[in-house]
Structure 1
Amino acid sequence: MRNYSFDVLKLFLALLVVFIHIHVPWREVILPLTRCAVPCFFMISGYFLYNLDMENMKKKLRKGIMRMLYIISLSNMLYIIPWLNHYMKMSDSFQLGWGDVAHFLILGIPLFNPEGVHLWYLQAYLYVLIALYVLLHKSYFNRILSIAVPLLFISHLLWKHIVPMFVTDDTLTFAFLGYFPAYLSIAFPAVGLGILIKKYQAKINCYLDDKDCWILLIVSVIMCYIESFILRTLGIVNAGDILVFTPFVAFALVMITLFTPMRSSNVMSKWGEKYSLYVYIYHPFVGFVIGSIREDMPPFMGSVYHWFSPIIIFFICIIVSMITLSIQNYLNTHRVL
C-alpha cells in the first residue's frame, strides 16, 4: 500500500529547493535547513528504485534512464530562453564553447546558467541511474554500494569542507574543488543510501524508532545552523552543496516518513506526487519571468514579492504544473504525440 507521507515530504522538499534559488531578505535564516532537500530527494529516489528482484530493478533503471533523458532535454530547451536574453544583453559574458560542453558531459555542470544551474540535479541522477544499471550486472553490487556510500560522503566532507579551511579562494587548489562532480559527491551516495535503507529497513528498525529519528533530526538541524554560523564567522567559503550534518537531516526525514505512514491521500500528497518535480524544474524560470516585469509592479505588490517571493513562486509553479499535466494528458489521450 502506498505511503502518502513520502508525497507530502516531496512537496515540502520542493518548497525548500525554491528557497535555495530564490533570494529573499530572510533567506539566510532558512538556508542551512534547505540544504537537505536535494540529498533527501535522491534518497527517496533510491528507496523506490530498490527491488529484491534484480530483473525488475533493471527494468526500473532502464525506464528511469529514458525518462531522465527526455526530461533533461526539455528542461535545457526551456532554459535556453533566459540564457539567450542574457546573451543579447551581455554577449561577451555568456559564451558557450567546447569547454562548456565538456564540463556539461563530464562534470554535469549545466550549460544555460545562471537560471539553469539547478538542472545539475537531473543530470546527476541520470548518471547515477546509468552507473547503477552497469553495477547491477556485477556480483559485487551490494559490496560496492556499502563501501561507496560512506566513502563518497566522507570524500565530499574532506574535499569540500576541510580543504577550504586551509586555502583561499584565489588559489589553484580552491579552483580544483569544483572538479569533484556532484553526481559522485552527492547524488550517488544519497541514492545509494536510499537503496540501503530499503534493503536493510527491517534491521534498521531494530535499532531506531520514530523518537530516535526525531532526536536525530533536531540535533542535526541544530548542528547545521551551528556549522553555518561558524563558517560565516570565520569567513570560510563552503565549497560544497551540503553541510556536514545535512545527510543526517535527510536520513532522519526519510526514516520519520517511514515511521509515520499515511494510507490515504490529501491535497498535499497529491501535489507532492504530481508536481514536486515540475516545481523543481520551473521555479528559476518563473523567477526570471517575474523579475523581468518586477519594475512595473505597483509598490505594494513589489514589496510583498520582495519579502515572500519563494512562497509566491512556489504556488505559481504548482499552477503551471497543473497546466502542464493537463496538456500532457490531453496530448496522450488524443495521441497527438
Structure 2
Amino acid sequence: MSTQPTYSPPGAVRPAVHSLYLLKAILAFFVVELHSPMVLQWMRLPGTSVEVFFMITGYFLYNADLGKVQANIKKSVKKVFIALLILQVFYSLYMRGLGLVYLEEWSPITTPVPWLLWLTQGYSNIASGHLWFLVAMLYALLTFGIFLRLTRGRWIPVLFLLLIGWGLIGPFRPMYFGQAPSIFEFNFLGRALPMLAIGYYIRKNEEALLRLRWLSIYAAVLALGGLEYLICDLYVGSNAFSWIHFLGLPVALFMCFLSYKDLGKGTFIERIGMRYAGNIYYFHKVVFLLWEHLNPSHPLLEEVYQKAGGLIVFLITLPIAWAVIKVQDRYSLNLLR
C-alpha cells in the first residue's frame, strides 16, 4: 500500500480512489452511531459528518467536459429520485406497522409544518427524518446543474457562502440568538449545495491542493479545534459551537483521505463503502426503530442498546444491505445503491 500522496488528472474516466470508499464506510458507521446510543464515543473519527458525503458526491461529479458533468448530474438525480420514492413509501408503511406517528395524523391546513418538513426535507413522518439527506441531495444536484449552466462552470466558490445560512439557523443560532437550532437547518441550500460545490472544486483543483501535507494539516486543525472548544467553553458556555469543527475538520479529513488514494485498497472495509454504504444509511433505521419498539418489554435489550446500540445496529444492518444489493444484482436492477 502506497504511503505517498497520489494525484490523477481530471478526465473522462472516474478515478479509482480507494480511500474515499474507505471513508464512505467510516461515514456509514458514523451515521448509525449518530442515531443510536454508543458508550465508546471515542470511536468516532474527528471530522466525520454527513457533509462529507455531499463532498464525495461533488468530487465524483467533476469532469473537464461540462457536458459530461451534466450527464453525471442527470444520472445522480435519477438514482436519488428513485431511491427517495421507494424509501418514502417503505418507511410510511413501516411506521404504520410499528404503530408510530405518520404524516396523515396532521391536517396540512391546521398543522402545515410537518407537511412542509416532508416537502423540503423528506420527513415522511417524524421517525424517518433521516431521509432529509436524499431530499437535500436531490435539490442540491438540480440547483448545482442549473448553476453550472448559467455560469459555464465558473464562480463555484460563490456557493461556499451558503454555509453562513446553515450556521445562522443551526449550530450558531444558540450562540448568537439564544435560541435552539431550527429544524430547517436540515436543508439543501445551506448544507448539501455548498458542500457539493466544495467537493467539485477540490476535484477541479486537485493537483494544486494535493501538494499540501494534509495529514499534518488535519492534525493541526484537530488541535486548534480542541483549543477553540476549551476557550469557548470558558468564555461562552458549554454549548458553544466550534467554527473549526463546523467546516475545517470535515474538509481536512476529506483531503487527508484523498491524499492517499490507495488506502484501504482491496479491504473488506473498502468494499463496504463501495457496495453497501448507501443501503446501510437507507435501512439502519429499520433495525433501531424495531429495537427501540421492543425495548420497553425487554429490559435486557434496553441495557444492551444503551451501551452498544450503534455498533450492533451497524452489524445487523450490514447483512441487510448485502441482501438488498444481492437481489438487485440477481435481477439486474439499479434502484437502491
TM-score (ref. length: structure 1):
0.81
**In 2, Cα distance between equivalents of 1:252 and 1:290:** 36
- Please, which runs of 5 or more residues in structure 1 have no aligned partner? none
Deviation per residue, 1:6-37 (Å, 9 max, x gap): 1111110111111111124565x678x67732
* Counterpart residue number, 2:326: 326
Once the two structures are superposed, the pairs formed by residues 1-337 of structure 1 within 5 Å of their partners are: 2-25=16-39, 36-85=48-97, 88=99, 94-95=105-106, 97=108, 99=112, 100-105=114-119, 107-114=120-127, 116-139=128-151, 141-143=153-155, 145-149=156-160, 151-169=161-179, 177-179=182-184, 182-206=187-211, 208-219=212-223, 222=226, 226=230, 233-234=237-238, 244-262=244-262, 264-295=265-296, 297=298, 299=300, 303-332=303-332
Question: If each structure's helix is expressed as a fraction of its own residues, which one has the higher value?
Answer: 1
Shift of 1:121: 0.7
Against the structure 1 CA distance between its residues 3 and 102, is the aligned structure 2 distance closer, same or farther, given a 3 Å change threshold?
same
Q: CA RMSD in A?
A: 3.2
Against the structure 1 CA distance between its residues 49 and 312, is the aligned structure 2 distance closer, same or farther, given a 3 Å change threshold?
same
Q: Secondary structure at the match of 2:76?
A: helix
| Kept in 2: contact 1:83–1:113 (CA 8 A) | no
- Please, which runs of 5 or more residues in structure 2 have no aligned partner? 1-14
**In 2, Cα distance between equivalents of 1:214 and 1:24:** 25
What is the letter of the counterpart of residue 40 of structure 1?
A: V
Against the structure 1 CA distance between its residues 327 and 189, is the aligned structure 2 distance closer, same or farther, given a 3 Å change threshold?
same
TM-score (ref. length: structure 2):
0.81
Shift of 1:185: 1.2
Shift of 1:303: 3.4
**In 1, Cα distance between equivalents of 2:75 and 2:104:** 38
Q: Secondary structure at the match of 1:270?
A: helix
Against the structure 1 CA distance between its residues 164 and 269, is the aligned structure 2 distance closer, same or farther, given a 3 Å change threshold?
same
What is the letter of the counterpart of residue 215 of structure 1?
A: A
**In 2, Cα distance between equivalents of 1:227 and 1:69:** 44
Deviation per residue, 1:52-75 (Å, 9 max, x gap): 111111110001111110011111
**In 2, Cα distance between equivalents of 1:36 and 1:282:** 20
What is the letter of the counterpart of residue 17 of structure 2?
A: N
Against the structure 1 CA distance between its residues 326 and 18, is the aligned structure 2 distance closer, same or farther, given a 3 Å change threshold?
same
**In 2, Cα distance between equivalents of 1:184 and 1:227:** 31
**In 2, Cα distance between equivalents of 1:282 and 1:166:** 36
Shift of 1:94: 4.4
Deviation per residue, 1:172-209 (Å, 9 max, x gap): xx68x444552111111111100111111122234x21
| Kept in 2: contact 1:14–1:37 (CA 8 A) | no
Q: Secondary structure at the match of 1:36?
A: coil
Against the structure 1 CA distance between its residues 137 and 90, is the aligned structure 2 distance closer, same or farther, given a 3 Å change threshold?
closer
| Kept in 1: contact 2:95–2:101 (CA 8 A) | no
| Kept in 2: contact 1:220–1:246 (CA 8 A) | no
**In 2, Cα distance between equivalents of 1:182 and 1:120:** 7
Shift of 1:214: 3.0
* Counterpart residue number, 2:12: none
| Kept in 2: contact 1:224–1:245 (CA 8 A) | no
| Kept in 2: contact 1:224–1:246 (CA 8 A) | no
**In 2, Cα distance between equivalents of 1:49 and 1:258:** 15
